[in-house]
């Protein structure tokens, strides 16, 4: 079969329920490319940079995917929750503040009411702005299929450049993320060519705890410096137990630069990204000290 040449040749399915969507995805002959907010896929198809799929299954309208709930330790965020919901939700702002901040820097307001967390994760771009905050929060991506549910740790869900651990019959249905504990703080930094409507040159998030001037816990993730968003585990381990002072900041900046191996591409250069990674870690440590 030839690939569709125009959108008019694409079959689109609007399931009434999640089950109907999963049944369709279970059948290789009926399976569709999953469409959520459309802020990546519609653009890629329009521009002709990826071949049109023969079938599309549109799931953003399903109410079950659009809820934000909590339990004592976790926030449960539906895959169809929009960036606008993330930035406005009191629960997200309280328990995953860097995620709310990151969502607020994506595109402009009109993009934020369209784009979804599930779509952002499934698109698996190393420049996906929600990724660092998800990785420092830790928790699970929950995937559903007719075979049942499967959980993947959010720190391991991206397996390579634009690749995600999600079987062809599976849909991302929700994220179960660890709430920021009391006494912790989070931060988010993004560098792009301008404040709005810009794809990141580099971005990152941290979650940390400072007790009597000593760093007692620190998690940091950086995007756009590797094929996927990455946690800087070696740096994190080195930082725990250190005083949050100038000497630590200096050494952390150097170690952060040595720990990433970015590339030159259309948005920035390897050298700049490496340098900024160091500055970002310094900025995060200074934030930790102030808070």
Partner 1 sequence: MTAPGRDPVPAPAAKSAQFSSTRRQFLRGLGLVGAASVCPPLTTAATANPANAKPSHPDLEEYGRDPQPVILQINGQTHTVSVAPRDTLLDVLRHQLNLTGTKSICEHGACGGCSVLWDGRAVPTCLCLAREAAGHEILTVEGIADDPRFAPLIEAFCAHDAAQCGFCIPGFVVRAAELFLQGERMSTEEVQIALSGNLCRCGTHAKIVTAVTAALSAGAIA
> Which residues contact partner 1 by CB under 8 A?
1-3, 5-17, 20, 23-24, 27-30, 32, 35, 37-39, 42-43, 46-56, 58, 60-61, 107-114, 195-197
Nearer to partner 1, 52 or 76 (CB): 52
CB of 263 to partner 1, least distance (A): 20
Nearer to partner 1, 19 or 245 (CB): 19
Q: Where are the beta strands (DSSP E) in the chain?
A: 11-13, 33-35, 55-58, 68-70, 74-78, 139-145, 148-153, 158-160, 163-164, 171-178, 184-191, 202-211, 214-223, 230-231
Give the C-alpha separation, 106 to 129, whole Å.
7
Q: How many angstroms from the chain centroid is the CA of residue 260?
A: 19
CB of 143 to partner 1, least distance (A): 20
CB of 217 to partner 1, least distance (A): 33
The answer to whether residues 120 and 129 touch, using CB atoms and an 8 Å cutoff, is yes
CB of 26 to partner 1, least distance (A): 8
141: which strand partners? 152, 175
Give the C-alpha separation, 123 to 13, whole Å.
20
Nearer to partner 1, 76 or 114 (CB): 114
CB of 98 to partner 1, least distance (A): 19
- Please give, one letter per residue, the 3-state secondary structure of 60-110: CCCHHHCCEEECCCEEEEECCCEHHHHHHCHHHHHHCHHHHHHHHCCCCHH
CB of 169 to partner 1, least distance (A): 12
Nearer to partner 1, 245 or 265 (CB): 265
Rounded to a whole number of angstroms, the CA Rg of the chain reads 20
Nearer to partner 1, 74 or 113 (CB): 113
Q: What are the distances in angstroms from CA 186 to CA 36, 206, 253, 285?
A: 28, 5, 18, 10
DSSP state letter for 138: -
CB of 120 to partner 1, least distance (A): 14
Retrieve residue 66's tokens.
Answer: 């659009």
Nearer to partner 1, 37 or 262 (CB): 37
CB of 88 to partner 1, least distance (A): 11
Phi-psi region of 92 (alpha: psi -120 to 50; beta: other; left: phi over 0): alpha
Nearer to partner 1, 247 or 266 (CB): 266
First to last CA, the chain: 59
Nearer to partner 1, 110 or 269 (CB): 110
């Amino acid at each position: 079969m030839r690939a569709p040449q125009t959108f008019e040749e694409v079959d689109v399915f609007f399931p009434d329920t999640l089950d109907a969507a999963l049944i369709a995805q279970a059948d290789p002959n009926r399976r569709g490319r999953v469409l959520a907010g459309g802020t990546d896929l519609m653009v890629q198809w329009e521009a002709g940079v990826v071949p049109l799929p023969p079938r599309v299954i549109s799931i953003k309208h399903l109410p079950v995917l659009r809820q934000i709930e909590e339990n004592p330790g976790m926030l449960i965020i539906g895959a169809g929750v929009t960036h606008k919901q993330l930035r406005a939700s009191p629960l997200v702002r309280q328990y995953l503040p860097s995620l709310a901040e990151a969502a607020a820097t994506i595109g402009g307001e009109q993009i934020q009411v369209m784009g979804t967390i599930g779509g952002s994760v499934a698109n698996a771009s190393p420049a996906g702005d929600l990724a660092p905050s998800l990785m420092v929060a830790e928790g699970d991506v929950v995937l559903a299929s007719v075979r049942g549910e499967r959980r993947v740790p959010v720190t391991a869900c991206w397996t390579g450049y634009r690749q995600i651990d999600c079987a062809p019959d599976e849909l991302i249905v929700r994220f179960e993320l660890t709430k920021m504990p009391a006494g912790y703080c989070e931060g988010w930094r993004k560098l792009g060519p301008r404040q709005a409507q810009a794809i990141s040159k580099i971005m990152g998030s941290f979650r940390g705890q400072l007790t009597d001037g000593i760093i007692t816990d620190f998690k940091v993730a950086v995007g756009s410096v590797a094929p996927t968003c990455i946690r800087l585990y070696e740096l994190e381990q080195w930082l725990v137990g250190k005083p949050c002072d100038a000497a630590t900041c200096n050494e952390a900046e150097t170690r952060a630069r040595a720990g990433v191996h970015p590339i030159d591409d259309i948005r920035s250069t390897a050298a700049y990204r490496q340098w900024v990674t160091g500055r970002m870690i310094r900025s995060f440590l200074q934030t930790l000290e102030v808070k």
